[in-house]
Structure 1
């Protein structure tokens, strides 16, 4: 499963671990990605999405149909 959200497009962020002696090593912060299955009444089918937890809350707020419109506007195929 790739570490990017289908709704928001958020992906991993890169930076440095800095030790007490200030040695720097590369690291990455992955978003909290969760697989979810939603029923889409307008299409009469279930869809599977990989979403960040923030995107799950957004779908709860705006609804699955508006969220799908945003995903398709970004050019993602569902």
Structure 2
């Protein structure tokens, strides 16, 4: 699955997972990206879109 939004280019962010004893290991935070059909230039296409863009109305879904 794609790990970035094709509308706002939101992608993965890396950082450290910190345990209770403060030992660290690398980890990533991935955005909530879903494959939806959207209307682009009058034709329906499939894109990977984050849920923030879906909720704010930055894309028009094809029903």
Range into which the TM-score falls when normalised by the shorter chain = 0.7 to 0.9
Instruction: After the TM superposition, list the runs of 4 or more consecutive aligned residues in structure 1 that deviate by more than 6 angstroms.
Output: none
Cα separation, 1, equivalents of 2:37 and 2:6: 13
Query: TM-score w.r.t. structure 1 length?
Result: 0.67
Specify whether residues 24 and 38 from structure 1 end up closer, same or farther in structure 2 by C-alpha distance, changes over 3 A only.
Answer: same
Q: Deviations over 1:37-78 (max 9, x none)?
A: 0234x53x21111000011123x2x554xxxxxxxxxxxxxx
Kindly indicate which of the two structures has a greater share of residues assigned to helix.
1
RMSD: 1.7
Give 1:29 shift: 0.3
Describe the SS at the equivalent of 1:20.
Answer: coil
Q: Which has the higher contact order (CA 8 A, sep 6+)?
A: 2
1:18 correspondence with 2:18:
yes
Higher strand share: 2
In the alignment, structure 2 segments of 5+ residues that lack a partner are none
Aligned pair count reads 60
